[in-house]
């Protein structure tokens, strides 16, 4: 059995700035979806991170477009990304529809639906 995620989203900074990926992931892992209780990294909500000159762009989605915590999660994501990247960050909302297959480890989510 492995502790490694099975479905890690590859961001542009994996290729352009690999030395900062782990710090950025660690900071973004602190942002928890309050309804599900998992981080935005575990859920696969951060779809891309790229650096363009002196600013970074982060593309993310929410588990549902009507998430009542969405604005707060987006703001916290921006703050944590700025801490990890040490530069200004713009958060752009993606149009992808989230589903369980986007999670790093879909088997980690136990909804309690099955006994």
Report phi then psi at 75, rounded to 5: -65, -45
Q: What is the pLDDT of residues 27-76, one digit of tens each?
A: 999 999 998 899 999 999 999 999 999 999 999 999 998 889 999 999 99
What's the CA gap between 92 and 41, in Å, rounded?
16
Strand 46-52 to 38-39 pairing: unpaired
Where are the domains positioned within the chain?
12-99
Calculate what percentage of the chain has a pLDDT beyond 90: 74
Q: Give pTM, 2 decimals.
A: 0.88
Q: Does domain 12-99 have CATH number 3.40.50.2300?
A: no
């Amino acid at each position: 059995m492995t502790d490694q995620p099975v479905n890690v989203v590859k961001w542009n900074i994996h290729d352009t700035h690999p030395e900062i990926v782990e710090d950025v992931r660690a900071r973004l892992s602190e942002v928890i979806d309050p309804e599900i209780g998992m981080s935005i990294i575990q859920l696969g909500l951060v779809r891309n991170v790229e650096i363009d000159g002196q600013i970074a762009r982060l593309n993310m989605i929410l588990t549902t477009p009507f998430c009542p915590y969405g604005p707060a999660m987006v703001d916290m994501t921006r703050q944590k990304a700025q801490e990890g990247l040490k530069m200004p960050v713009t958060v752009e909302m993606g149009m992808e529809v989230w589903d369980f297959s986007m999670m790093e480890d879909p088997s980690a989510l136990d909804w309690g639906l099955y006994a």
